[in-house]
């Protein structure tokens, strides 16, 4: 279980920009997409711990070649990924 208690990223990496742009293209609200640095690496959060549908996550994996792990705590969702372009 990964708990995203890290600090919100103020500077986005190229990989974070790719994820953000992909989600925006799929209709996600740009202002609700957040990236965090934590002891596990990088985490993505949408809104207030909202769910990102499986097809969008699969699209990120297949189209951007970025592996994302879903972390669910009760009704809260966060998404861990390795930023290989840091």
Report phi then psi at 69, rounded to 5: -105, 130
**Does the structure show a pLDDT above 70 at 7?**
no
Q: Please count the other Cβ atoms lying within 10 Å of the Cβ belonging to residue 83.
A: 17
Beta-strand ranges (E) seen in 3-75 are 7-8, 33-38, 41-46, 68-73
What pLDDT digit, counting tens, does each position of 9-50 carry?
Answer: 556 788 999 999 999 999 999 999 999 987 778 999 999 999
**Does the structure show a pLDDT above 60 at 53?**
yes
pTM of the model: 0.82
């Amino acid at each position: 279980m990964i708990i995203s208690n890290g600090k919100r990223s103020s500077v986005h990496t190229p990989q974070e920009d790719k994820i953000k742009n992909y989600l925006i293209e799929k209709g996600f609200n740009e202002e609700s997409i957040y990236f965090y640095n934590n002891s596990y690496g990088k985490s993505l959060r949408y809104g207030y711990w909202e769910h990102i549908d499986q097809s969008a996550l699969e699209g990120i994996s297949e189209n951007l070649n970025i592996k994302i792990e879903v972390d669910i705590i009760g009704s809260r969702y966060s998404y861990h990924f390795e930023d290989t372009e840091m």
